Structure 1
Amino acid sequence: MPARTEIRAIAAAACALGLLAASIALAQAPRWPDADDIERARKAHPFPQADRLGAQPVPAPPRVNLPSTAAPTDIEALARAGARLGSPAAQTPAASPLRIFITLEMPRASLQLLTDQAARSGAVLVLRGLKANSMRETLAAVSSLIGERQVAWVIDPEAFTRHRIERAPTFVLSLDYRADTATSCGTDCRTPPAFVSVSGDVSVDHALDTLARQRPEARPLVAPLLARLKGP
């Protein structure tokens, strides 16, 4: 009998402990809001009425201080210059065997003379790159230099590398245009049949005479260029 009594006591104690643990768990569990809680929250934080929505303050946009810019770019003027300089008559570098490698930093008088003679002979003016890394400044400078004359001009840094151009102006006469402009020739295309060149602050006709003396095979190409220079 005493043993059974002890077993019953232990079972009762275990049951009581289980009920106590369940009560503690329920007490610690979060309580879901009931209808009264929701009503109290609605009264404490009411939604604005429809007729008062327009009266709600609108935050002002932030003030952003932008840096001041230089003079605005005249897009229309650039378009006119680009259209004139990019006309078919001004962009036919392959039509002429003579190219004049120049820089826009050369003396203005020399540039004007070469530009005038390039217009009459059909020679192509070649620049290494953009002036001040700006297409706008380059177009403005070239437009000011060329004016209303029809002159072919290109920006071709690879041509400067291929022909090892170290001075400006340099006059290059292509004896074989395809071989002269081939990219496979690397940095040195100065093979006898490709081209002949001369450097110096001289006129186009003087440069052509020098080229014809250097390479007799260049004379058939030089003759029509000189004829156009000396034309009416």
Structure 2
Amino acid sequence: MRAAAANLLTTLLTTASVVICESARAQAGLTRQYNDSSQQSSADAARVSSTDLSALAAVYERAAGTVASQETGPALLILVSFSMPPASLVRLAEQARRVGAVLVLNGLKEDSLTATAQAVRQVFGAAGAPLQIDPRVFKHYGVTAVPAFLLRRASVSQPPCATEQCPADEYAMAVGDVSVGYALEQIAAVRPGWKPLTDTMRLQMEK
């Protein structure tokens, strides 16, 4: 059982870049901790329950599916944090699933895979929304408050722009503890040319 858990954990960390980007793993020291040759891998993985691992695996599958369906065209990212009220996170996760958006976290909860897996299961498990852990998004778009609703020209599968600060004409953003629908209205107000896209997304939420 422990070996199986370690293998699944290693697979998630080495292949699921959609869920946990390389910089986030390095920040928490996961590249070293969960190397196949490390004895600590099995011990730490065993402390993550099979339920928690299943939750992470399910999130990965949902995120991978979202990326596959949004290889081109704009993407809506909802930047969140576990410091937000759980009720707000659940509400946004449900709305993200309906509109086809991706939730983005700045890093692992308490720099711990175990804590992150448990939080994912408890907060996002029932909503079914895809989730990324990618601090680059926060840095390159200058996000300092959450929740933030980021509509960008680049697709979900593309990383943030290569520069430290993304060009302003490549994205639009709304910030505040509001619904996805309201955030899309605010984005359309500052970017009238994107209104057809935001209207389509809002209609998608109503289905």
TM-score of the pair, normalised by structure 1: 0.62
Inter-partner Cα distance in structure 2 for 1:150 and 1:141? 14
CA contact (8 A) 1:93 1:154 kept: no
Q: Which runs of 5+ in 2 are unaligned?
A: 1-42
Q: Give the AA of the match of 2:114.
A: R
Alignment size in residue pairs:
158
- Counterpart of 2:109 (choices 104, 125, 131) is 131
Q: Tell me whether 1:73 sits opposite 2:47 in the alignment.
A: yes
Match of residue 3 from structure 1: none
Inter-partner Cα distance in structure 1 for 2:184 and 2:161? 26
Q: Give the AA of the match of 1:83.
A: A
Match of residue 108 from structure 1: 86
Quick one: structure 1 residues 141 and 206, their matched pair in 2 at CA, closer, same or farther if it must change by over 3 Å? same
Match of residue 198 from structure 2: 222
Q: How does 1:37-186 map to 2 (within 5 A)?
A: 73-87=47-61, 89-91=62-64, 92-93=66-67, 95=70, 97-177=75-155, 181-184=159-162, 186=163
RMSD of aligned alpha carbons: 2.4
Note the C-alpha offset of 1:149: 3.1
SS in 2 for 1:171: strand
The sequence identity of aligned pairs, in percent, is 32
Misfit runs of 4+, over 3 Å: 180-183
Quick one: structure 1 residues 117 and 182, their matched pair in 2 at CA, closer, same or farther if it must change by over 3 Å? closer
Match of residue 165 from structure 2: 188
Inter-partner Cα distance in structure 1 for 2:86 and 2:48? 25
**Cα deviation digits, residues 159-215 of structure 1 (max 9, x gap):** 11000001000100013449x84542x2210321x1000111111000001101110
CA contact (8 A) 2:140 2:160 kept: no
SS in 2 for 1:164: coil
Q: Which runs of 5+ in 1 are unaligned?
A: 1-68
SS in 2 for 1:86: helix
Note the C-alpha offset of 1:152: 1.0
- Looking at CA atoms only, which structure, 1 or 2, has the larger radius of gyration? 1
Higher RCO (CA < 8 A, seq sep 6+): 2
SS in 1 for 2:122: helix
Quick one: structure 1 residues 210 and 133, their matched pair in 2 at CA, closer, same or farther if it must change by over 3 Å? same
**Cα deviation digits, residues 12-37 of structure 1 (max 9, x gap):** xxxxxxxxxxxxxxxxxxxxxxxxxx
